[in-house]
Structure 1
Amino acid sequence: MIRTGDHVDISGALYSLQTQLGLSTHFGGKTALAMQGKAHYLELSSQKVYLFGTKGENIPTWFRKYDWESQVKYFSTEFLDSKHGLIEFQVKEFTIKVSSPARAILECLYLSPEKQDLVECYQLMESLNNLRPKQVQQLLESCSSVKVKRLFLYLAEKSGHSWFNHLQLDKIDLGKGKRSLVRHGVYVPKYQITVPQALENEGSI
């Protein structure tokens, strides 16, 4: 319920969804990264806000139809479950669950390349130099998307992060066969993926 004249922002509404309705809906992807200072050129008040939730959950009509200040992009997925990679984040006088940086970059890769530019994903990955290998390992082992896992490892290794060396790749199911993510791209033999030429060129001297 809202008192007449009260202003409800999307963070408060999300708090209601999580605490009153028990939904898994949360800030994810680029929005979660921006909230945690991992994407300095992005703001929560930017044109788009990314929300993720578990497939099969029903978002209330009032939330879907409310005129939020930002364009809300909601994605119902099951490539990750709601048990891994969510953290408590302080917003004003309350806390909400949002994606940790490790989960957030996986959500970005889930949307790529159609809804999320892969070069931007690489730039976001570059800022994630202090991820915890144990949490990353857990997320990758529980992730059901072969595309996401291969891209994550490719970008992490390309970024030269030290935590990458502590991952146990033999415990991560990367599937079989090649994955072509774009047409006329560059093939990366180690991860059996075809990526945009612009992405392969990133970081090259």
Structure 2
Amino acid sequence: MSLEKEHKINSLLRGWPQNAVYLTSWLVENGYSHQLLSRYKKSNWITSLNNGAYVRSGDSATIEGAVFALQSQSHVSIHPGGKSALNLLGKAHYLEFSRQQYILFGNENERIPSWLTNYNWEMKLNYYPTSFLPADFGFTEVEINGFSIKVSGAARAIMECLYLAPKKQDLKECYELMEGLNNLRPNQVQQLLEACKSVKVKRLFLYLANKCRHPWLEFVSVENIDLGKGKRQIVADGVYDPKYKITIPKNLVDE
């Protein structure tokens, strides 16, 4: 190997964060040809993930490492959301959290690539493309193994949980998650609720926050939030709450 090529691979590997994924397309755009990548693979410096991405040999690709690639190299808004985001933020530690499934959200016109869906992450990957919340607000950065990724902040994440409820996210668990969110920023909550397109999410969010008696709720101007008209049956055979005009599970009322 020439000194130039040796320097090239050494430079690549030195800057490669642990367990992070690099997209084939990004590597090619940055001067690493398919032929060169094939040579690196045969030399066991990098390992292919279903032909669309690579991980450094010896590392174990993680979903967060895959999200890092999507966000930093293909510039999509796909991000950990819902309970997965709350877990990364340390807001779900008092619940039994299982890595049997991982929740990603993105814009309604974004799709996750086949290399990511076809790779064996040893857990179920659930992706929800939707535009019920604004695409550019309510996020925070989390650093993992030397790289950072954008994840839903706590307020956005609990709204994503409520978006999935009750069919794909248990409402009782949403309440338990909400109980731990006693320091949300009222101005951020206000902006998210005003921009939220789901009446169900807004009513459930306010109901749970009120039930938890969070002090920050006093600083949220509910009159500026469009809660729609009429009743909403969240579950069948539930209990009707006249304040927010929703039918909720009996086990939630009894809490």
Please confirm whether the aligned pair reaches a TM-score higher than 0.5, indicating the same fold: yes
C-alpha contact 2:203 2:227 (8 A) present in aligned 1: yes
- Report deviation, 1:2: 3.1
Does 2:190 align with 1:137? yes
Does 2:114 align with 1:86? no
- 1:114 counterpart (154, 167, 177): 167
Deviations 1:95-149 (A, max 9, x none): 1000000000000000001111111100100000000000000100110000000
In 2, Cα distance between the equivalents of 1:88 and 1:161? 25
Query: What's the counterpart of residue 30 of structure 1?
Result: 83
In 2, Cα distance between the equivalents of 1:163 and 1:22? 34
Classify the secondary structure of the residue corresponding to 2:149. Answer: strand
Change (3 A) 1:32 1:151: same
- 1:67 counterpart (103, 120, 124): 120
Query: What's the counterpart of residue 166 of structure 1?
Result: 219
Change (3 A) 1:4 1:93: closer
Query: What's the counterpart of residue 102 of structure 1?
Result: 155
C-alpha contact 1:34 1:42 (8 A) present in aligned 2: no
Change (3 A) 1:82 1:126: same
Classify the secondary structure of the residue corresponding to 1:122. Answer: helix
Does 2:234 align with 1:181? yes
Measured on the aligned residues, the alpha-carbon RMSD in Å equals 1.2
Same amino acid, percent of matched pairs:
56
- 2:101 counterpart (40, 48, 57): 48
TM-score of the superposition, structure 1-length normalised? 0.95
In 2, Cα distance between the equivalents of 1:81 and 1:65? 29
Query: What's the counterpart of residue 192 of structure 1?
Result: 245
After the TM superposition, which segments of 4 or more aligned residues of structure 1 sit over 4 Å from their partners?
Answer: none
Structure 1: segments with no counterpart, 5+ residues: none
Change (3 A) 1:42 1:54: farther
- Report deviation, 1:42: 4.3
TM-score of the superposition, structure 2-length normalised? 0.76
C-alpha contact 2:155 2:184 (8 A) present in aligned 1: yes
Larger radius of gyration: 2
Structure 2: segments with no counterpart, 5+ residues: 1-53
- Greater RCO, CA 8 A, separation 6+: 1
